[in-house]
Amino acid sequence: MQEKSNRANWGKLFSDALSCPGKVSEAYSVFHDYSLGNAILAALQLTVKGLPLSPIASFNKWKKLGRCVKKGEKAIALVMPVTVKTKSSDEVENGAGFNDNTREVRSSGRTMFVLKNIWFSLDQTEGADYANEVTIPEWSKVQALSGLGITEQRFELLDGNTQGYSIPNKKQLSVSPVALMPWKTLFHEMAHCLMHSSAT
């Protein structure tokens, strides 16, 4: 009897990420601080772990945000640049490169890219509630909507992929409670209300 492998089928996962509608854009939205390659890499690893896409950060970053990594959780790997100091072959062969005053070897650096397992998703952490909200000094959502004559309505669509919607003629908007970037969606829908309203 053939033993079932627990190893991920990376080829299929990568193919799915590129061919399933919304997968790449979803990963790029959640991991907006990372390169597209790292966003896909993180999405694939979280999929293998059975975790949803959610913000990722290092152990120390989560600690600063008031959360700690759950016991037993394994980090995911992302590609990171590392500078490695090297001596030139001339310096090694000829003994050159020594400064007469300090006798230090002159070295040059080169950049390598390596996989580092130091990243954890929000779902791998526990602690205080984490809200990915943008704090803008002296800006209030309530005041902004009121001043522009826009009202926020309860989100009433079943489609989880819809981030938000607006009814410009009524100057109404709604943002999904599970929107990946609620503030970006809010500003986007506010613009619809202002630019496409028949009253303007």
**Position of tokens 């293998």?**
48
**Position of tokens 């929000």?**
122
> In Å, what is the CA distance from 84 to each residue of 1, 19, 108, 112, 165?
48, 37, 8, 7, 50
Gyration radius from the chain CA atoms: 25
Listed in sequence order, the residues at least 6 apart from 48 whose beta carbon sits closer than 8 Å to its beta carbon are: 8, 13
For the stretch 79-134, pLDDT in tens is: 999 998 877 665 555 555 555 554 454 557 889 999 999 999 888 999 866 554 55
**For the whole prediction, is pTM greater than 0.75?**
no
Shared-domain flag, residues 120 and 182? no
Shared-domain flag, residues 56 and 123? yes
Shared-domain flag, residues 121 and 171? no
* Whole-number pLDDT of residue 77: 93
Shared-domain flag, residues 117 and 42? yes
Shared-domain flag, residues 183 and 122? no
* Whole-number pLDDT of residue 124: 92
Is 19 inside a domain boundary?
yes
DSSP H or E segment with residue 197: none
Is the pLDDT assigned to residue 44 strictly greater than 80?
yes
CB atoms within 10 A of CB 47: 17
Strands 151-152 and 164-167: unpaired
Percent of the chain with pLDDT over 70: 66
Structure tokens at 155: 């989100």
DSSP helix, strand, coil percent of the chain (3-state; round to 5): 35, 25, 40
Listed in sequence order, the residues at least 6 apart from 35 whose beta carbon sits closer than 8 Å to its beta carbon are: 79
Give the range of the structural domain holding residue 179, as residue numbers without chain letter.
141-195
Is 1 inside a domain boundary?
no
Is the pLDDT assigned to residue 13 strictly greater than 60?
yes
> In Å, what is the CA distance from 195 to each residue of 6, 13, 24, 34, 168?
53, 41, 29, 32, 8
Is 134 inside a domain boundary?
no
Is the pLDDT assigned to residue 31 strictly greater than 70?
no
Shared-domain flag, residues 171 and 122? no
For the stretch 140-197, pLDDT in tens is: 888 999 999 999 998 876 555 678 899 999 999 998 776 778 888 899 999 999 998 7
Shared-domain flag, residues 74 and 147? no
Shared-domain flag, residues 177 and 122? no
Domain count, the chain: 2
Percent of the chain with pLDDT over 90: 27
